[in-house]
Amino acid sequence: MISLNDVEVYIGENLLFPTTYTVAKSVKKSLEQNEEEMLSVDKSIGIYAPDGEMESILFGEKGYYEFL
């Protein structure tokens, strides 16, 4: 059985998820932070992190976040 707590997402050799906002931003410069999430519109990446704790990551198809 796979626990979601055991999932790690890397870009190249760099851990993107789960980590901190600061580390995630250093891995993917296009990530923009608001109160509960980080989004990269150009790369279609979304990280949900209420209270600063990363809970989920989504990779959408190209253009997924362009409506924002």
Please, are residues 30 and 43 in contact by the beta-carbon 8 Å criterion? yes
Per-residue model confidence as pLDDT tens for the chain (68 residues): 555 567 899 988 999 899 888 888 888 888 988 888 999 998 899 999 888 788 899 999 998 888 76
Q: What pLDDT, on the 0 to 100 scale, is given for residue 53?
A: 82
Q: What pLDDT, on the 0 to 100 scale, is given for residue 30?
A: 87
pTM over the 0.85 mark: no
- Domain residues for the domain of 16 are 4-59
Q: What pLDDT, on the 0 to 100 scale, is given for residue 11?
A: 87
Please, are residues 41 and 68 in contact by the beta-carbon 8 Å criterion? yes
Number of domains in the chain: 1
Q: Is residue 36 part of a domain?
A: yes
Q: Is residue 65 part of a domain?
A: no
